């Protein structure tokens, strides 16, 4: 298993098991997990950078306030990496 595949699997595990009641708490932890995923990939392809940027945009900068909907969308985006 490559390091990048392991990073995505770890990210997915953490996001699936992130159980916060408040969206703000969820958003802060999710932001940390996205940062770790980005660090694991380093300077990879522009496509990966864009997906990570889109994940951050969706969860942190344009939040819906709905934890479960955001979780599902972020996990779907992670599958494309």
The structure's pTM equals 0.89
Q: Is the pLDDT of residue 1 over 70?
A: no
pLDDT for the residue numbered 45: 83
The region of weakest confidence among 31-35, 41-45, 52-56 is: 41-45
**CA separation for the pair 21, 5 (Å, rounded):** 29
């Amino acid at each position: 298993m490559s390091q990048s595949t392991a990073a995505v699997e770890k990210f997915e595990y953490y996001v699936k098991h992130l159980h916060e009641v408040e969206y703000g708490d969820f958003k802060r932890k999710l932001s940390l997990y996205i940062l770790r995923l980005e660090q694991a990939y380093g300077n990879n392809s522009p496509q990966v950078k864009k997906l990570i940027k889109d994940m951050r945009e969706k969860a942190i900068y344009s939040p819906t306030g709905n934890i479960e909907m955001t979780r599902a969308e972020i996990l779907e985006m992670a599958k494309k990496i």
